[in-house]
Structure 1
């Protein structure tokens, strides 16, 4: 979220994304919002079914270590839907961070044979 800097100037988003709202839903970027609009049209046309936003997939279970509990970790995609009987998971990325690359790798290791994964 952009705040105000020292001189009152508005701080820029780290990746220069512009939050965009469609159907009362705020997306992190114009690109993600545009893809949502496309997917909604495809859903209305019957091309896809069951559109979900921000689906979560567990990629690491809760672990006990040194007397502490380390929480489970999740990969959160942008969209999930069904097309021709195949579950499709989409992530809209402008910038691929190291964290994203690691989580994507773990997601594909666990779920890759169950879904069609698309990066846009």
Structure 2
């Protein structure tokens, strides 16, 4: 019996993805824009951004930043992309300083933890960085 073979390009052409589909979206998360014009990957992330802004105004935290890239480093140095031209990164949803504890917090708002997230979380733990994972209360 003979099996027909096709290249990856022929397969992609034969199975086009629907227009407007964003493969990075997890479980139907919808991009949301907050009142200050900042676009977030989900409603839950936008809600947490608003909460953190209030905490910063109250003086509980400072230095609030979003979508902060942190380079991934392994035992033998930077972990590179498949092309070998760029270092792989973890993009934190939020980074800020907790004034009461005096520590920098790396926070990720999650509805569902993916295998890729868990791998990056483990790599950062080996680098001595812990990620605070928060979930919405809905």
Query: Which residue is 1:21 aligned to?
Result: 33
Query: TM-score, normalising length from structure 2?
Result: 0.68
Shift in alpha-carbon separation, 1:18–1:108, aligned structure 2, 3 A: same
Structure with more strand by fraction: 1
Query: Which residue is 1:48 aligned to?
Result: 61
d(CA) in 1 for partners of 2:120 and 2:92? 10
Quick check: which has more Rg, 1 or 2? 2
Once the two structures are TM-superposed, the CA of residue 79 in structure 1 deviates from its matched residue by 0.2
Shift in alpha-carbon separation, 1:62–1:89, aligned structure 2, 3 A: closer
Q: Which structure 2 segments of 5+ residues have no match?
A: 1-16
Number of corresponding residues: 108
Contact 2:68–2:95 (8 Å) recurs in 1 = yes
Shift in alpha-carbon separation, 1:100–1:14, aligned structure 2, 3 A: closer
Once the two structures are TM-superposed, the CA of residue 5 in structure 1 deviates from its matched residue by 4.3
Query: TM-score, normalising length from structure 1?
Result: 0.78
d(CA) in 2 for partners of 1:110 and 1:62? 12
Contact 1:62–1:70 (8 Å) recurs in 2 = no
d(CA) in 1 for partners of 2:33 and 2:94? 16
Select the residue among 81, 91, 94 that pairs with 1:79: 94
Deviation digits for residues 33-75 of structure 1 (CA, Å, limit 9, x no counterpart): 0000000000011110000101111113165xxxx73521111
The alignment's C-alpha RMSD in Å is: 2.6
